[in-house]
Structure 1
Amino acid sequence: MNGQINKEICQIVPSLPPDINGVGDYALNLANQLRLDFGINTHFIICDPAWVGSDKLEGFQVDRISYRSAKSLIAQLVNIEPKSPILLHYVGYGYAKRGCPTWLINGLKTWNHQCQQVHLVTMFHETSAFGPIWTSAFWFSATQRFLVKQLIRLSDRIFTSKRSYAELLQSYAPRKFTTIPSIPVFSTVGEPKNPSSLSERTRRLVIFGGRSQRIKVYEDSLEQLLQICRYLDIQQICDIGPVLDTLPAEIDNISITAAGCLPSEKISTILSNSIAGFFSYHPAFLGKSTIFAAYCAHRVIPISATMTDLPEEGLQPGKHYALPDQYNTERRNMALMQAIADQAYAWYQVHNLSAQAKTYYTLLSDLDVPQP
């Protein structure tokens, strides 16, 4: 492309709003920022035949495959602007029940042969699953790895959201890619400018995310949640996400408000006036968590039910997120809590939405330049 990008790109995604889908939200936010900062339009191709929505979403053209097959994918790819680069958001389970989207890889392979001047950039939100021998993840992991390797061969550029993923991907193709960028994800529910200090906010704690993540909080991490609520003198808990069948009305006399699924603007408003955000999610994967990114972007105290001894993506326990077990409720230190919120906020700014849009723009602009 000789340093210049077409005014349109094609983004392939598992789904888009109104479906609740973190990858779809990520892609849509990125599309809006590329349009705002660089005048780049996005043509979306959705790979969920059951998706229901308009063919226009926030001004972007949206097409949907009729069924999951190479032929159906190619039928949609012929509608994109000639020579428009393709940005694939890859997460195996988003495109196939067992995480093995052979049809997707075959479709891209055929398209690559037919249109050799079209470039493919792949963002690996996931690589391959793993698990004990009695799980499907174990039995399908070899096929998943094979498809990832196939996709690497087809891609002109690849990057991911987790450093260990980048190392794994590079081990699959050391001669093709000498460097693979690893960029933690951004908040998909907004990035307020100049968020207020904790002292100006309601003593509210937010539990935000999908069903399984929040159920884990209430079933496996209740003791840690109670500890931090007492330490921070929390007066209210706000539960945000798909409605849970069993959500306690209160814990330790602290009321829990079931907010349900909310528009991103309302989530941002709630976070901007809360002091903490709780999660039960292994810290090794925080770089790819849009929930953690949202907490950081809104300058709340991120609170983890668990910890890791090794810093991940530059994140350090006790510095960028709080750990309930480390604090004595009789000696509350809000200056320390403010420092944690500030350091998480500062860590986030390096890879916020605007910074990532610039990274994508640079990668897409330099596709004709050999990989360094």
Structure 2
Amino acid sequence: MTKIYQIVPLLPPAFSGIGDYAISLAQNLRNFYGIESIFIVGDPDWQGANEIDRFSCYQVSDRSAQALAELIHNLTDGLTTNTEPLPRSATLQPDQLAKLDQASNSSQSAQANQPTILLHYVGYGYQQRGIPFWLSDWLKQNTNPIADQRFKIVTMFHEVYSAGPPWRSEFWLRPWQVQIAKRVIAASSSIFVSNYLSAEDISKHLPQNPHNLTAANINIYPIWSSFGEPSLAELNLVDRQPTRWLICGGTAMLERGLTSFLQVLKYIPAEFAPTHLDLIGGKENPAIAQLSAQLQAQSPDLTIAYYPQIEVAKASSLFAQATFAWIHYLRPKEISPSLVFKSTVFASCSAHGVLSVFSHQETGTTINNDPHPGVFYITIAGSTRVSFPTAADLPAIRQKVYQWYHRHASAKMVAKAYADACEIDGDSR
């Protein structure tokens, strides 16, 4: 059985979007390509099971390069042994040539047996100030130079480094965050990101990557749907009710979205004015009931259903009935092109043929010169601007949204890209 080792900041039951992503990826690699994952949690205080969905889970004893090195050595069971190269000589005798051939074959065998480590990187996940020097030290000790590299490192940058105003700590810590990110970039033989902004940040440091990576080699794949990927046969993309809406997100995002939806309700074209609204996700929140009452006071004919802590299958069935989703993913100061590709809500909308209506005018929803066809908006900052399709165009747009998702973000396709990056063929199913 082919194995990879995934290093993550946290796993369930701790709340972690990155942990959820890693588990989902592991399931896709197993289901589609027969590749097993072993998890290494970079938090010694994590409290979780030894197995999640039959994936073995381990954690570092402390946040140090030595603790991580010892754990990985024990897990890889000696696969990281290096072959000592023969010294070079201007003139080699026959017996020396034989030794050189033997060493070369041994080195190639060791290279083939290199354990593959998939690092899910975000600085704040491994150190509270976003400067995990212990992780950087481990990479320095084990991945340089290439000839002696003990591991094949594939990195998913969930965040490269952070930025902030002078009165926040990330402003002053940014030089160290950049330094560590550069170390991770240099150690990586393959790099994944979910958006172009992260790719641009990484591209600045690629000249220092000894694997000869270029900007064109960065794998850009939007986050895939967290609520499944129904087939065309399971979806009705033609006759959905055009006045059925949803808002989805974590506890805070759902409350923020419902609050701003109250502000924009009057700007929604009459033919799409909501008659039903599903509120999906997060934990039970009393504020949702209060906001729902205000919304129904504005629109007495509107029915609202609230589904906190919802099961995946139920959420998928609700997405499959909706025409529009109101998405207040980013605050005005956070808006940057393509960051919406980090949103599992946006991905779930696309996988179900739901049209996304943003609280800002989104300009960065293009992958490989292929623009997302289902992005609309009602701006809430500055002057109000409104963008909606015509009712007659809805069936065709739903179809195009669904097709775009499967061209760029489906779980199987992204898992294949990871398998290729790890140079693992698997057994595609």
* Superposed pair shares fold, TM > 0.5: yes
Q: TM-score of the superposition, structure 2-length normalised?
A: 0.75
Q: Which residue of 1 aligns with 2:416?
A: 358
Q: Which residue of 1 aligns with 2:98?
A: none
Report the 3-state secondary structure (helix = DSSP H, G, I; strand = E; otherwise coil) of the residue aligned with 1:199: coil
Q: Which amino acid aligns with 1:60?
A: F
Q: Which amino acid aligns with 2:255?
A: I
Change (3 A) 1:309 1:113: closer
Cα distance in 1 for partners of 2:67, 2:323 equals 48
Q: Which amino acid aligns with 2:273?
A: D
From 29, 36, 41, the equivalent of 2:31 is 36
From 304, 321, 326, the equivalent of 1:273 is 321
Aligned-pair distance for 1:91? 1.6
User: Is residue 334 of structure 1 aligned with residue 391 of structure 2?
Assistant: yes
Cα distance in 2 for partners of 1:208, 1:326 equals 21
Cα distance in 1 for partners of 2:21, 2:130 equals 20
Q: Which residue of 1 aligns with 2:247?
A: 207
**Per-residue deviation, residues 113-136 of structure 1 (Å, max 9, x unmatched):** 698332111111111111222222
Cα distance in 1 for partners of 2:51, 2:142 equals 25
From 66, 83, 89, the equivalent of 2:120 is 89
Q: Which residue of 1 aligns with 2:403?
A: 346
Q: How many residues align?
A: 358
Aligned-pair distance for 1:174? 2.5
Q: Which residue of 1 aligns with 2:221?
A: 183
Cα distance in 1 for partners of 2:286, 2:171 equals 30
Q: Is contact 2:246-2:279 (8 Å) kept?
A: yes
From 174, 182, 187, the equivalent of 1:154 is 187
Q: Which residue of 2 aligns with 1:74?
A: 69
Write the mapping of 1:225-264 to structure 2, written as runs, cut at 5 A.
225=265, 227-228=267-268, 231-243=271-283, 244-247=285-288, 248-250=291-293, 251=295, 252-253=299-300, 254-264=302-312
Report the 3-state secondary structure (helix = DSSP H, G, I; strand = E; otherwise coil) of the residue aligned with 1:323: strand
From 263, 268, 286, the equivalent of 1:223 is 263
Cα distance in 1 for partners of 2:278, 2:268 equals 15
Q: Which sections of structure 2, spanning at least 5 residues, go unmatched?
A: 80-113, 330-334, 379-384
Change (3 A) 1:212 1:156: same
Q: Which residue of 1 aligns with 2:134?
A: 103
Q: Which residue of 2 aligns with 1:3?
A: none
Write the mapping of 1:51-66 to structure 2, written as runs, cut at 5 A.
51-66=46-61
**Per-residue deviation, residues 154-185 of structure 1 (Å, max 9, x unmatched):** 21221211123222212212263123222222
Moved more, 141-150 or 16-25: 16-25
Q: Is contact 1:302-1:341 (8 Å) kept?
A: no
From 349, 360, 363, the equivalent of 1:306 is 360
Cα distance in 1 for partners of 2:253, 2:170 equals 19
Q: Which of the pair has the greater relative contact order for Cα pairs under 8 Å at 6+ separation?
A: 1
Moved more, 97-106 or 144-153: 97-106
Cα distance in 2 for partners of 1:185, 1:327 equals 25
Aligned-pair distance for 1:304? 0.9
What percent of counterpart residues are identical? 31
Aligned-pair distance for 1:278? 1.7
Cα distance in 1 for partners of 2:167, 2:261 equals 26
Q: Which sections of structure 1, spanning at least 5 residues, go unmatched?
A: 1-5, 368-372
Q: Which residue of 2 aligns with 1:123?
A: 156
Cα distance in 2 for partners of 1:201, 1:11 equals 43
Q: Which residue of 2 aligns with 1:370?
A: none
Q: Is contact 1:321-1:344 (8 Å) kept?
A: no
Cα distance in 2 for partners of 1:363, 1:75 equals 25
Q: Which residue of 1 aligns with 2:84?
A: none
Q: Which amino acid aligns with 2:307?
A: A
From 350, 356, 365, the equivalent of 1:296 is 350
Q: Is contact 2:338-2:363 (8 Å) kept?
A: no
Aligned-pair distance for 1:66? 3.4
What is the Cα-based RMSD across aligned positions, in Å? 2.8
Change (3 A) 1:53 1:150: same
Aligned-pair distance for 1:335? 2.6
Q: Which amino acid aligns with 2:230?
A: P
Aligned-pair distance for 1:289? 1.6
Report the 3-state secondary structure (helix = DSSP H, G, I; strand = E; otherwise coil) of the residue aligned with 2:18: helix
